[in-house]
Amino acid sequence: MIGKIPPEVMARLVYARLGFADSNVLVGPATGEDAAIIDIGDGKTLVVHSDAITGASESLGWLAVNIVANDIAVRGVKPRWFLMSLFLPENSSENLLDAIMRQVDEAAKDLKIMVVGGHTEVTSGLDRPIAGTTAIGIADMEKIVTTSGAKTGDYVIMTKTAAIEGTAILCTDFASLLKDRGVDRYIIEKGSKFLAKISVVKEALALADNRIATAMHDPTEGGILGGVAELAYASRRTIELWVDKVPIARETKVVTEALKINALKLISSGALIATVPLDKLNESFEVLQKIGVEASVIGRVKDYADHLVEIVRGSSIEYVDDVYVADELFRLWRGREKTD
């Protein structure tokens, strides 16, 4: 099993063993929720999230900061502090550590985040570097947005395009394979620059500050489909997903078709999924347009109807009942390991 642990296993072995119950924890560990929310008094909340970067090597430092920062931002909170535990393969040179920390520094400065701690070591048994990350922010309680807040009748909007992070990883870590599959060098180079679009902090804070979104979620592992399923699961609703409306960049289409993978199941940090009431739908697009972010309506929230997601493609409907969607990226890594 590669990727996230299935929810039923998490419920049995993890969520049931959380130590002392602290009443100040408003939102703790739960499938689909992006970050913990802790009441620290005076109407303020501490928002904290930990994540890991395991499916990328070339862009690890940049992703380490941005991915975990996104999970704070979708709460409607500005990320301020960052910690990282970095594990390097044996025989790593100082050049690898230098490259990773240069990316961390650049990303943190870009988002005005300070690196306040962590851990760095060389670990046996690794074939690539791995990072465990944590981001922290503080916000007024009234501004907090959760993943579980979607309401029946809300529209589902999505910023930018699907599989932004996945495209960047494919075009860096799998560039040689793409060349072997006949993908033009220009497409690969352009796709690798998708890393610049990985942050959703700007758009998430804009929607939260204007009190527009009822729920927001950062679709990481499992892609857009996984993100929509997690949002539906957390909100106890069914989401009708109009797949023909999901925007996919040309570069993403080319590289995913070359590798025979589903772009909707490819890690998608860089896109923001939000649910918006009908009476605020136009406002959401106006707010996003002002900050230069494109958005699309990709579905609608319904009362729970025995399925988490109804995938509508033309006149056909497919159903998703499992909140866990296996990411295509891990399948590629597994295939590479078998051939090495």
User: What would the DSSP string read from start to end of 131-152?
Assistant: EEEEEEEEEEGGG--BGGG--T
DSSP classification of residue 74 = T
Domains of the chain: 7-143 (3.30.1330.10), 147-339 (3.90.650.10)
pLDDT of residue 49: 95
CB 97 within 8 A of CB 136: no
Nearest to 162 by CA among 230, 253, 68, 63: 253
Nearest to 330 by CA among 198, 174, 209: 174
Give the integer Cα–Cα distance in Å for 13 and 16: 6
| Per-run averaged pLDDT (10 residues), the chain, 340 residues | 78 93 93 89 96 82 94 96 96 93 97 97 92 96 92 98 94 93 96 94 96 95 95 96 97 96 95 98 97 97 96 94 88 63
DSSP classification of residue 154 = P
pTM flag (> 0.95):
no
Strand partners, 184: none
* Three-state DSSP class for residue 179: helix
Helices 185-192, 250-259: inter-axial angle, 10-degree rounding: 110
User: What would the DSSP string read from start to end of 182-218?
Assistant: T--HHHHHHHHGGGGG---HHHHHHHHHTT--SEEE-
CB 49 within 8 A of CB 83: no
Strand partners, 310: 240, 319
User: What would the DSSP string read from start to end of 76-133?
Assistant: T----EEEEEEEEETT--HHHHHHHHHHHHHHHHHHT-EEEEEEEEEETT-SS-EEEE
Question: One-letter amino acid identity for 142?
Answer: E
CB 175 within 8 A of CB 333: no
Q: Which two tokens stand for residue 48?
A: 């904290």
